[in-house]
Structure 1
């Protein structure tokens, strides 16, 4: 999309969906060096807590930042602040929708505040919060 701040408005919404795979989890584990047993499909450590292995929170956060970088605003911007609560685990094979809604625009600072809601294929909220971004491309 690549919107400039003047083209954005309060109430504007963008969303993306993604299904997370075991391969996604392995790549995330390798990059972060986080090999917690709750993420490993071939270990039994997760069985004490969940019905199946969970997806690292960073992957769900990545879907949120993908909405920012591809859709709203879709241009050059920097994440300044994030406040997220993880309500329910995301499992491999879950289809997650990340929805961002603009709730405030500070033109003087080029800051945009967005409400974040992520939910799974059954409609359960898995992540909720907000982000503040600095929009760098402020001219058409």
Structure 2
């Protein structure tokens, strides 16, 4: 399940403080398996239920960076969108995401440096209204000006 959110680009000239964009996605077993394959992170807490039962999580969890990747999807597809250059991202993982959880990934513009085309955003992921990830991103937004 993935929201059919608007895709494209919001150029620096049209970005305003307080703008918010988001997507909602169910994290599936297949997502976790694919992320393990691509990242080569095969920690059994993500892949082996019997192993994960004996951890502090009491069961399998998604990779934290899989969840963080949903923030990247919002930034790269919606705000600012296509042509954006990621410059930095801080992350704080607050709670685990489990297979079957529906994650709401949101970005909110908190600061803009128009001459440098830099946009600072609060980033967050929630499951059932509970924050599971918080952070801040800095990006270089595309411009609509063609000098």
* Superposed pair shares fold, TM > 0.5: yes
Bucket of the pairwise TM-score, normalised by the shorter protein: over 0.9
Aligned with 1:73 (options 71, 80, 101):
80
Q: CA RMSD in A?
A: 1.3
Distance 2:101 2:54 in 1: 18
Structure 2: 5+ residue runs without aligned partners?
1-7
Distance 2:118 2:53 in 1: 40
Q: Deviations over 1:98-119 (max 9, x none)?
A: 1110001111211100001211
Structure 1: 5+ residue runs without aligned partners?
none
User: Mapping of 1:91-106 within 5 angstroms?
Assistant: 91-106=98-113
* 1:55 to 2:55 alignment: no
If the length of structure 1 is used for normalisation, what is the TM-score? 0.93
Moved over 4 A (4+): none
Distance 1:13 1:75 in 2: 16
Q: Which residue of 2 aligns with 1:138?
A: 143
Asked if 2 retains the 8 angstrom alpha-carbon contact of 1:40 and 1:46, the reply is no
What is the aligned residue count?
138
